[in-house]
Structure formats: structure tokens, C-alpha cells
Structure 1
Amino acid sequence: MPDTLNHPELLAPAGSLEAFFAAMESGADAVYCGLRQFSARAKARNISLADLEGMLAYARKLRRRIYVTVNTLIREEELPQLAETLADLEALRIDGIILQDLAVWKMARDHFPGLPLHASTQMTVHNAAGVKMLERMGFKRAVLARELTLEEISAIRRETSLELEHFIHGALCFSYSGQCLFSSWLGGKSGNRGRCAQPCRRRYSYRQKYGYYFSPNDLSAIDLLSDLQKAGIGSFKIEGRMKSAEYVANVVSAYRMVMDAPDTQRKESLSQAKDRLKQSFGRLPTKGFLPGPRPTDIAIPSMKGATGRFLGEISALRGGEITFKSRDRLHIGDRIRIQPKSDQAGTAFTIKQLRLGRSTVKAAPAGSLVTVPSSFRDTFRIGDAVFKVSSEQAFTMSEAACRRKLHQAGNIPDQLDLHIALQGRDLTLTGRSGPVEIRQTYEVPVFPATDNPLSVDILRGVFERSGKEPLSLRDITSEPLPPVVIPPSRLKDIRRLFYQAVAQNLSDASNTARQKHLRSALDSLLPIAPLVDGYKRQITVAIDRLRDGHLLNDPLVDRIILPMTASNVQQLAKGHRFTGREDKVVWDIPFVLLGADWRESRDIVRVLTASGFHNFRLNNLGHFPLFDGMQEVTLHCGWRLFTVNSQAALAWKELGISTITLYLEDDRANLENLLRRETGLPTEMTVYASVPLITSRIPLRGLRSDSPVVSDRDDAYRVTQRGGQTVVSPETDFSLLNRLSELEDLGCHRFIVDLSHLGPYSPRGKLVLDALRREGGLPATSSFNFERGME
């Protein structure tokens, strides 16, 4: 196990084979990569299993590590494929899997015990309670939320022994990771399925003032590596599985330079590293939240959301030729991207010809008015921005060269412990690798030793060479050896025969274990069950204020959901409004609980349970420890806890959940597939809500909820800032109120109508309740992904 606490790991992205070798050659201790399925960067080139096997062999010889991302939400129909993938990864003895969906946790823990578990930042673990929950669940490492300060990280470290990983460089999401529905809302391309279309990077207007309001700058914590290590971070993670090998090489080598520098040379190394980072073609750097909870440079609306080094704006066009004054040196082979002022995607191409005036040149200095021909006609406009995204000096390795290197690495070696005993003429070898043990006895000629008798060192010299077999001798021990010699040729023959037998046994054992584990996992998947009639429809209405609690007097409403806030509890203390009906109130725990907020929530839970309330809705793993030692509570699973398959539902059931809320961005096909599985848990579904497209800790100064933020496509969004959180919601609400009978036919009979943003007695709130009564549609609403599908 790596000593990440005293010697932090430098962890690099490997979205392609070329990026993998760039990371290895530039000094990464480990890389993380995604396969071509179940990766939160589905647009990256990603890695095949055959590639991964070669990468592991290459990395093991360098004593480096590889982690594989399985960090997307898993559709019900994908569970068999997930089982196959986990079986393959376990057979390859991968160093860890990074996961989001608890289906992956449950299946790996129950059926693939050889897979070390890392909790993805997509799980939004942001406090000590969340990390301690991961410890209970058997995780080895937590990738912490990027919204934490150094002080908050230190507080987490003091309460856990779990390995902690944190991002140190690369792109930031405006939203808490795992909690952004923006891309999915616009076109069904879910960020939690690895298909984010990055609408946050587009231009918006607020009161007719244009800006990139939701586009954060890039994280660069190179000044804070010592502080991060002192805070308890054991793995420094670089973002960028969508980035080029050149980016990976530049960034990894820069951080390696600083991490390896002696204290006396730290300042000089830091200066050199920052110069190198300028070549990585990112956005403006920010330290994010690490220095404190209110950063001023993390999101600057006047800064374009595009990556790359800004060169200038197009000043003239002629056919496919563009002319602009370049702020930076340009060279044949540089790659540039033209970014329109609208929110449309940019166009990138490599410079094959470059002109200064009428002269064709190979390079142009900074400040030059240059003309660059392209093959694109009628694509660009005067005023479009020009960015350099790659240089002619890029790290390059062809696909063929990458594969030659993988082939030369051979197979992944098995670690072998060897014990030797010599009795008379019988040499007995006992080899152990993982759970496999093999013992063989060979007859050997022995001769009295006059000089240099048989010893452990002599035997190590013979057996540390494994020949063609993928074995690596880790340790060798022996019984007391007599003062004899054995001819070296005989020892080499024995080594060859023994290692052949060991390799065959290990291969057989691996194949047997893979088939056994895979069959166990596949057998655990729930079959389709017949639908059961006779369920009564149950309606739960979410409200924001305690004073609207008399909505329970409406015969339409079975239960209400109330935010578990200090103000609501204080109002409760002034006059108990629910005597005898406490079981009809579900208290909704705030999604984010940082530091003292968690301790305050624990006190509130105790007050509420003492007052006779026992229903609580959880929205983060860090909420579970709030109820440690409590028996008389009923825990409900909010939609933020991701239930898109039956294995995740079973996982929540195991953790103490009594009711699950289906995922808000899911579609009809998957909902039907999931609801046909008998998990033993009642399921609820939100059928009306304002969808929080972004939930963020980043403040948006000067924006108020009384005016919308509008896209270039005239889509309008409300920005609400309260309690240290920024929430971006569409002005169009989500509604399936006209589909309740259809949903019941699918197998769901419990429905949540979320009016917390409207109030049940506002004009709009009354319209919603009326539509609920008559099961009618509402104008100006969206069915989200229900019909069009979630990719």
C-alpha cells in the first residue's frame, strides 16, 4: 500500500493511451482512466480492456498505480454489463475503482472483493460524517468535494483514517459535482452519465448585461501543496481526461517539479513550474475554495468560458481566411479554436499556413497582425474570439508507438512469496500469490560445500528471474539450509518448471474465481416481477414554511415535507401544529452540511424526535450518522441519493432506508424497468418541482432572483442565493401531473408535489393543486427526460 500520508501521490488523468504515457514519462505516481462504458467522461477516447491490461503491466514495472472510473449512474438494463466489467477489473487486479452509484458499491463488495473502492467526487462527500460513513461501508479512499477549504479538510482528517484525495489542478464545475442537471435539462445529456454538454460555459444575460456567469476559472493549487499535505490529503489529483497528452505532460511535470524540490529550492522550482503551467492552455487560474469559503476569483462573468490561451478577436475575414492581432507567438502546427460570441460550440483547426502581411512565415511573434487560412467557409464572424489550444511542440506519440510500448511491457506480473526447504535430496518449493498456494518437490543432486554454501541470497539470485512467466518475486524465505551446493543448471531447470506450474495455477485460479464471482453477481440481479394491484395513491406535498402546514387538512394531501431548518423548528416550538399527526410530517435535511451546520442538524434531529417526529428525508451520505444510536426513526431517501437501478435500491435498504425517491432526471423506459423489480422498498416519484439545475457554493454577486438570467436561446433561469448556496433553476417547472395513472400502471403509487418554491396558497400553487386533483396538464411546464430519454 502506498504511503500517501507522508508521500502524497501525484494522480494524473489518462483519457487516451498517449496521455497515459505522457503521465508516466512526466512523473505521475498513478493515473485514473475510464473504460468505454460507465465513465463520467464518455466523450473522452477512453481505454479498452486489452489496453488496460498492457497499461497495468507497464505501470507495475515502474511501481505505479492505475485506478479505473466506474463513476456514472447505471441504468437497470446495464446491470449485467456492470457485473461483467467488475469481473474483468477484479481479474486484472486493478488498484482501485472510482464509483458514484451505490449499485457499483454493493455489487463490488458482495461479489468482487478484490476491488478496492474509491468514492468519486460525484458522491458529493463534503464533511467528516460523510467520510466516516464511507469508512463503515468499506471504502478505501474518498475523493472530497472541490468546495472545501483547507480548514474544513483538516477537520475531516482529524476524524478519519480513510485515504483522502483532492483535485489540485484543472477545470472546475460551477455546481457541486454530481448535483448538476443543467445539461440533462436542455437535451437529456446527463452529466451523471458522462455526457455533459457544458451549458455552464455559455454566455448569458442578466438585465441585458452579458456575461459568463456560471463558468468558473480553472483550479491551480500549486502554491498550496504543502498546505494540502498538512491538511491530510494523500493524493493530489489532476483533472483532465478530456485533455491532450501535451496538457498532461505539462501539468504533471510542473507539479512533480515542485513536489520533488528540496526546501531550499522550493521557491525557484515553484517559479519554473508556474511558467510551465502557462503552456497548458487552461482558463485563468484560481485556488478555488482552498484558502477560504468566499473566493473572489473563482467565477468572473467578464471572462470567456472557453479553454485555451486567448489570442485576440477576428478583425477581418476573406473566404476561409481569418485575420487577427495575436497576443502570443504563433507557429505552424499550433492548434487554435474560434469561439463565437453566442453560446454555440467553437471550431478548432491546426495552423498549416501563416502569413504576416503578404509574406508566408513559419512563426509570428506576439503582437503581430496575422492571417491564417482555414478550410471553413461562412463559419466565422468578425469579433469571434481566437484561442490557442495546443502548440507545435506538443507531446506526441502515435497510436502505433503506444501499442508497441504496451506489447513490450508483456503481461501483468503476479507477486509471489516463495518458501524453500531442503531435506536430503528433496527440494520443496512453496509459492503463494494472493489466495493461491502451490507446493512442488524436486529431486536434486547435492554436494558438500567447500566454499559458498547454499543460502537464501543464492536462491534469491536464481528465483528472482521469472523468464517468460509473468511473475515477480516479492519475498523469499527458507528452512535452515545444510552446508551443501546444488548445481546452478539444476536450480534453473527447477525454477522454469516451478514457475510454469505457478503461472498455470494462477491463471486457472483467476479464471475460476472470475467465473464464480460473475455468476454470483448475475444471480443476485432481480428478475422482472408481476405488477400488484390494490395500492392506494399517496400524495406528499413539499412546502417551505411551517405556517403552511395546515395543508394537511386538505383531504388530497397525505403527508407534507418540511425543510429541517432552525427557523422551522423555532416556529414549531412557538406552537405545536401537528399534535397527533407527527407521522404525516417528513423533515427534509439540507443537502449540504458544512462544519457546524452538521452539528446543529444533529441537535435539531434530537429536538424533533423528542417531540414525536420520526420521518426524515436524507440527501447525502453524511446524513446517515445524524441518526446513530436512534431506533425510533424512519429514514427516506431523497432523489439526490441517486436510485436509477434495483441494486442501488437494495443498497439503500441495507443502509437503513425505508422509502426511496426515484431520480429526478430519469426517463420512462428506465423507470418502468426499475419499477418491475421487487426490492421490498416503497418507491416515491416527484411529479412536480422546480428543478435545481445547479447547486453551488460559488456566490454570484449582483444577481438577484427578481430578474432571470437568459441564454442566447432565450431560455430563462432564476438564481436564488440563500444560506451560502446558489441555486439555478429554470423558469419552466417540471410536471408529470397529467401522467399519474400512467405512472401507476408502471408500478409507482406514491407521488411528491414540490411547492416549496411557490407556496401551496399562491396563485400558481393553487393551480398546481387543482391540476393534481383533476390529473390535468399545466401549460408552460416540462416533462424533463420522461419522454425524450436520459443519455
Structure 2
Amino acid sequence: MRNGIKREDIELLAPAGNWECLRAAVANGANAVYFGVEKFNARARAENFHMSELPEIMSFLHMYGVKGFLTFNILVFEDEMKEAQELIEACIDAGVDAVIVQDLGLVKLIREISPDFPIHGSTQMTITSPEAVEFTKPFGLERVVLGRENSLKEIKVIGEKAKLPMEVFVHGALCVSYSGQCLTSEMWGGRSANRGECAQACRLPYDLIVDGMQKEMGNVAYLLSPKDLAAIDLVPELIEAGVTSFKIEGRLKSPEYVANVVSKYRAAIDRYFAGEEAAPSEQDIRELQQSFSRGFTHGFLKGTNNKTLLDGTFPKSRGVYLGTVKKVLKHAVLVELNAPLKRGDGIVFDAGDPTQKEEGGRVYDILSRGKKVEGEVENGLYEIVMGRNDVNLQRINVGDRVWKTNDPELDKRLRKTFETDKPYRTFPLAVHVVGRLGEKLSVTWVDKTADHAVTVKSEMPLEAALKRPLTSELLYEQLSRLGGTLFSLNAQDLTTDLDGDLILPVSELNRMRREAVEQLLHLRTKPPVYQKRHVDVYADVPAKQPVDKPLLTALCRSLEQVEAAAQTDVDFLYADFEFVKQYPDAVKLAHRYGKPIGIATMRIHMPDENGVLALIARSKPDAILVRNTGALYYYMSRRGEMDIPLIGDFSLNVANHKAVSLFLECGLKRVTASYDLNIQQMVDLLGKTDASKIEVVIHQHLPMFHTEHCVYCTFLSPGTDHTNCGQPCESHRVSLRDRVGFSHPVRVDTGCRNTVYNAIDQSGAEYLNEFIKLGVGSYRVEFLEEEPERVKEVIDLYRRALRGEVSGTHVWRTLKATNQLGVTRGQLTK
């Protein structure tokens, strides 16, 4: 125990995309493993397991005292609810220790099936504040996985206030967007990140457009591609901040990666509890970089520092930085090394443009002043000889950076940890032997770590010994022969209660030992028992309420847009501004024209941001558009003093009727369907719920990335965060131009978070007739940078379509004809 924290309270949680990774995690000290099956997990590209393998997986993990968590961290569409039910029931039967869940509708379904089956709130739930944790408590979540944007300071505050076990990512790839709030893959390719199909648009190059002009950035092109998280040196601070589970990212990574990272963090945690202050060694860091690294960062754990989050010159793993090219020789390259290198290692020469083919291969020889050097070298000038067919020396230039991309010796050492016939771990036993003349020998075996005990009796009675009676030494010699099993026995853990000189055949002692091992193994692998009820997933589908006249609402992002929209026959307005100080003016302006108005909260809610929520309420809007569960809990818990209607926005990720039901039960007046739904999925949802309580966003610029990383601060300021950046966002307008030539606007919210909006408007106007038949209660049009006249024109078109005066196709075609970028049909496309 250290500082009141016990070693067994800290969990090291490892990823596993296949059986090899699973074994590597167990062999190298993981306390728990998370994995997915072929459907319903956020790593669709991983090899993944099959549902039929669940009993085998859990038996293997439990045999070693390791927990197994199934990742169910995606949105579940309406037509998948029965399949989701089947998978949950299979998890319960197999004894899965918990499911990691994103979809609150799925949480509701799980609780209908089982009141005690453990649920963990995924990082995809975007839980970043004590209030967001409190929101989950009525649903019996065992723990939450905090957003990767939370700092150590915030983690401590959340832990102290919310008092629920916290899981935090400590190593691996970082998403630039908040998990659960990235819609880029959905927008550009119909591959939703909320469905495990991320297309990694953040790893693509972009041009920075400032006030309409391209900014010269040199070889910095990867403006949204973060380095990889590495918090191994922060292990003591994380433990003391209240983190109980250290999560390693990497279900798409190799078993060598899993073995490497798990073993390093295992050692760091053990050092802490041994009272050793030693930081990870340079070799530890290099080996972590070798397995996978885009460069290492603490992410946001030490607070926001926009200057250290990304490198910008490459988007993929580089490995270990070796040095730079000093000279290109006839048959070799002279390199100033500052990290170890040896024959057989793989290297690559980085000329600063990773989009082009890069030279690289295996090191054939290393020379110092023309003489071969054996073994490993570092720190100094060396001639590196490559295979003649591997590298075109004419394409290598002085100044090119050199990276070690592969270390076969390290990989071999890591594979040895899990490619073995020996047990990965052994567990200590305590054995007590009781013997009386004429009675059967009774041996009780206690599995000390699992708290299991079995008693095995001899098949024949004990006889008086004429020679070689049973002694503690003889019993220990036979009963401790546990090689090849999971168990071990120390002499001091064997106790005896023998009445006189007694004898029993050695073969019988051996049989008793084997039987005890078999029984203890059975107890270890026996699945935990949870309650399970069979439910009809559609038993709670509500009756439809007729809609005489559906609402047309407009979301505006400036006072000018509010005034323009207020002059139309729109039914309801929303204000979503960069500066909260303008909200009272927006409310007054709307009311001057007799229009009700709601104010949107920020999409993210951090521990110190309740003041913004209070200011929204003090502006006296007619409703609040709630975008996260932290804000929802804040307003729910203050109903007596703030009796303002609440409307749920798209970012609550409502994708099925159970999620609709859950949020309406929490007091929301209506909810906005998730942007992840295409037209068929939207129709399915509307058919299974009271569509009069649903708002559909029918026109908008899709908010693709929502990120703590500030493009303005990073590239337009010498500062590191909002305290010293000089607010370039107040005097400049930035967009990111993609490879196709579209410029995607970047806007900043009150919390200095950036949203990258799609350059192209999108419209679902063609589906209006279908939605009207299904009884949708509210349709929303969203604006971004439109001028007042354009705002009026768009609202008029949609109003006429709702009245049946023009077709949805006419609306779409008209918008396309009058917008130079055109309009896509967006996420609603079939």
C-alpha cells in the first residue's frame, strides 16, 4: 500500500485484436483485457473475435485471474436491437466481466435484460465532467472511461466529486476529435467513427487558409494529426489523481506492441508500489517508440499545450529517431547517430514529404572510418550500408532525417514472452493436511489469489508406518510438484496435523494433487453468474402522436442571422455563438420579433464550465439546446430554480428508440436524431418511436471534427493555450483545404474548442415527404456563414416544401444552383 492506495486497486487494461494479442497481454502483466467481436465494436478493421468464442476467451482470461471486457462502444441502429440483445445475452452466459458501451439506448436495454451485469461507460460517451458521471449513476454503470482531453487536475476533480472508478487512456494513438463527436468519416465516405469505421481523415494533409489566403507552412501539412500518447512517466501522478484503470490503446496493433507496452507500464506501476521513484529509462522509451510512435506527447494530461500535441510533418508511425544524413557516399550513407543501431535493423530516410515513396530497408553493415563495426553502435558518425536492391542512394539528401522502423531482436524478445509452452503466470497455494490412523487423508488446497478452496480425500485409509512415515518434508516433496500447472507451493505454506506415524502410497498423493489442481482450475474458469431476463426489445415502443403542423426551426451563428431568421415565418430559433456574452442580445432580438429562441450549450462540458451553463439560463431563453450529458445533468438537478424547457441535440447520439425514451424520461421536450443515421436508419427509428418528439436537421454544414486542439493557437500564435494565444480567432477566419480543393471552415466555441465544418451544405429535403408521413414534429435548418438574405431564402424554400408548395427535390436543386460549392444530400443518403 502507498498513500492509502493498494496495488490490487490499480488495473492495467490492455487491448487485444486477436488471440496472439490476448496471450501477449496476459503474459506481460495485464490485469484486464478489452476486445471486440465481429460486430458492434469501434474497431471494425481489427481482426476481432467471434461471439461463439466468448466462453473460451473468458475461460482463458479467468484462468489467469485476468478480467475480460467486451467493447460494445458504437451506436446501435433500430434494426440491430435484437442482434444487440443476443450479444448481451451471450456475454452474460460467458461471464464477460463488463461491456464497454457508448449508446445510452443500449445501456437501457442491458438494464432491462439484467440489473447486475456490469457496464462501463465508453470514452465515446464523451464523459468529461463530474456532472456527466453523475448522469450515468441511475443506470448502474460500474465505471466510466474519461475523455482523452481531461487533464490530471480535472481527473482529480472528477474523481473527488463523482466518486466512481475512472479509466483513463495512458498510451497509444490519439484522436484529434473528441471520441463520439467525430463525423468526418460519415460525411466523406459513409463510414461512421461511431460505428467503428473511422477513415482517419485527421491523418490527411491540409492547407491552412487564413482570411481566404493560403498560409505558407513549409513541410507542415498534417494539421490535425496528433502525436501518440505516452504517459508512462506520469504513472505516479495518475495513481494519486484517482485513476483506477490504466488503458492502453491498440486493438489494431501487433502482439509485439501489446507485449512491449503492457510490460513497460506493468513495471512502472510496480515501481510505484515498491516505493521506487525511478523514471522509465531511455531504453524503455526507445523500445516503446520502436513498437509504434508518431512521436510521443502527454496529450492533455498536463493541460492544453497546442504546440506539443502534433508534429505536422508526418501522419504515421516513425519509430526511433536515429539522426540526420551528413553525407551520401558511393555505397553508403554517413549518419550522425544519437540512438542505437545494429545490422538487420530496418530504417527509413525521411525527406520531409511522406506522400512520396521513401527510401529504406535493412541495415547490411555499419562502418566507422571505413572499418566494419560489430554489434550495436550509437552516438557518433557511422557509414550505414544498405542492401543494393533496397535503397536508391541518389534519392537520399544531406539533412534527411533517419528513423529506425524495425528492430528484429526486440521483436524476438517480445515474442518469447507469449510464444511459450509454460504457463504465463503461477499462483501461490496454501495446503493443510489432516491425517488420523484408519481414516482417509484430507488435504485442503487454498488458491490464495482467487480465494478458492477445495478438499481432496484419499481413496484408502491411512495405515501405521513401519518405515518412511508421512512427514512435512515428504508431503511437501510430493504435493509441490506443480510444474506445468498454474500453481506453486512454498514450504512455509504447507501445514500438517498428523496423528502419529502414518503412511499412504506416493501414487495416491500424486493423484490427490492432480485432482486438486483440476478442481481449482475449474473454479478459476467458472463464469460469474448474473441475472438475466428475456425481454421483447420493442415492448416499449410508444403510441404515435399526430402532428398538425410540424415546427420549422433555424439555428443561427450570428446576431445578423438571428435578426434575418426572426423576420421569416420560422417557428423557433436557436442561437449557437462563439461568444456567450451575445446570448442575452440574441434573446432580446428574437423576442422583439415575437419569436421564441433556444440557446445551445457547448458540445463539451469540463469541470470548470458550469458558469457558462448558468449564463445561458440567466439569458432567459425559451429553451436550451443541450449537447452533452454533463449539461443535461446540470439543468436536471436545478429544475426548481431553472425551469426552462430542454431539447436534446444531435451530439447526444440518439440512434434508436430506447435512447429516445431514456432522454425523454430525463425531462427533454424533444430530441434530435444522430447524424450517423442514413435515410433508412432514420425511417426505422421514426417508425419505432413517437416521431412528434423527434427533431430532424434537414439542412446544415456538418460539424465534422470537434476538438480541444486549436488550429488558431497552434499556427497563428506563439502561445500555447487560451491564456497566452492573443485570441487570433477574434481577428482571423481559418479554414482547412483538403486534397480535393474544398475549404472547410474552422470555428471556435466559448471553451476555445475548434469545430471543423464541412465546406458543402447538405440537405435532406428530398426526404421531407417521407418524414411528414412518419409524423416528425420538428425540422431544423442550420446556418454557418450565410448572409442575411441567404438565411431568408433558405428558410422560405423549406417552409414552402413543408406546405407542399414545392417538392424537396426542387429545394435541393435550387440550393445547389445558387451555391457555388453545391449541396450534398449529406448523412441522410441511402
TM range (shorter): 0.7 to 0.9
| Unpaired runs of at least 5, structure 1 | 414-424, 426-441, 450-462, 472-482
- The equivalent residue for 2:827 is 785
Worse overlay, 261-270 or 634-643? 261-270
Per-residue CA deviation, residues 660-700 of structure 1 (Å, 9 max, x unaligned), is 21112321121122222135762111111122211111122
Is 1:715 the counterpart of 2:726? The answer is no
Which amino acid is the alignment partner of residue 785 of structure 1?
A: Q
- The equivalent residue for 2:688 is 677
Alignment of 1:229-240 (within 5 A): 229-240=239-250
State the 1:98 CA deviation.
1.0
Q: What is the distance in 2 between the residues matched to 1:666 and 1:314?
A: 51
State the 1:277 CA deviation.
2.6
Is 1:392 the counterpart of 2:404? The answer is no
SS at match of 1:108: helix
Alignment of 1:66-465 (within 5 A): 66-206=68-208, 207-210=214-217, 211=220, 212-261=222-271, 265-267=276-278, 269-271=280-282, 273-301=284-312, 303-309=313-319, 368-372=383-387, 388-395=404-411
Q: What is the distance in 2 between the residues matched to 1:151 and 1:287?
A: 14
Aligned partner of 1:560 among 573, 576, 583: 573
Aligned partner of 2:794 among 749, 764, 768: 768
Q: What is the distance in 1 between the residues matched to 2:594 and 2:514?
A: 79
Q: What is the distance in 1 between the residues matched to 2:663 and 2:555?
A: 22
SS at match of 1:596: coil
Which amino acid is the alignment partner of residue 406 of structure 2?
A: S
- The equivalent residue for 2:632 is 623
Per-residue CA deviation, residues 718-777 of structure 1 (Å, 9 max, x unaligned), is 22234311121222122223442243345535211012x235x52432342243235412
SS at match of 1:267: coil
Alignment of 1:702-781 (within 5 A): 702-703=715-716, 706-723=733-750, 724-745=752-773, 748-755=776-783, 757-758=784-785, 762-772=788-798, 773=800, 774=806, 775=808, 776-777=811-812, 778-779=815-816, 780-781=822-823
User: Does structure 1 conserve the Cα–Cα contact (< 8 Å) formed by 2:27 and 2:424?
Assistant: no
Q: What is the distance in 2 between the residues matched to 1:464 and 1:649?
A: 59
Per-residue CA deviation, residues 172-206 of structure 1 (Å, 9 max, x unaligned), is 11111111112222212211111112121122222
Gap change, CA 1:76 and 1:5, over 3 Å in 2: farther
Gap change, CA 1:4 and 1:402, over 3 Å in 2: farther
- The equivalent residue for 1:585 is 597
State the 1:639 CA deviation.
0.4
Gap change, CA 1:177 and 1:585, over 3 Å in 2: same
Percent identity reads 26
Gap change, CA 1:335 and 1:98, over 3 Å in 2: farther
State the 1:298 CA deviation.
0.9
Q: What is the distance in 2 between the residues matched to 1:208 and 1:614?
A: 41
State the 1:266 CA deviation.
2.4
Please report the TM-score for the alignment, with normalisation by the length of structure 1: 0.77
Worse overlay, 365-374 or 725-734? 365-374
SS at match of 1:31: strand
State the 1:655 CA deviation.
2.8
SS at match of 1:234: strand
Worse overlay, 23-32 or 390-399? 390-399
Worse overlay, 706-715 or 778-787? 706-715
User: Does structure 2 conserve the Cα–Cα contact (< 8 Å) formed by 1:128 and 1:622?
Assistant: no
- The equivalent residue for 1:457 is none
SS at match of 2:261: helix
SS at match of 1:229: helix
SS at match of 1:712: coil
Gap change, CA 1:506 and 1:264, over 3 Å in 2: closer
State the 1:445 CA deviation.
12
Q: What is the distance in 1 between the residues matched to 2:708 and 2:196?
A: 22
User: Does structure 2 conserve the Cα–Cα contact (< 8 Å) formed by 1:18 and 1:397?
Assistant: no
Alignment of 1:409-558 (within 5 A): 517=532, 520-521=534-535, 523-525=536-538, 535-545=548-558, 549=562, 554=567, 556-558=569-571
Q: What is the distance in 2 between the residues matched to 1:313 and 1:729?
A: 39
Gap change, CA 1:214 and 1:541, over 3 Å in 2: same
Gap change, CA 1:767 and 1:224, over 3 Å in 2: same
State the 1:311 CA deviation.
6.6
SS at match of 2:409: coil
Q: What is the distance in 1 between the residues matched to 2:403 and 2:773?
A: 53
Gap change, CA 1:374 and 1:686, over 3 Å in 2: farther
Please report the TM-score for the alignment, with normalisation by the length of structure 2: 0.73
Per-residue CA deviation, residues 606-633 of structure 1 (Å, 9 max, x unaligned), is x35xx58355434334422322151644
Per-residue CA deviation, residues 105-158 of structure 1 (Å, 9 max, x unaligned), is 112111034431111111111111111112232111111111112221121122
State the 1:712 CA deviation.
2.9
| Unpaired runs of at least 5, structure 2 | 209-213, 428-438, 440-456, 465-478, 488-498, 717-728, 801-805, 817-821
Gap change, CA 1:392 and 1:163, over 3 Å in 2: same
SS at match of 1:167: strand
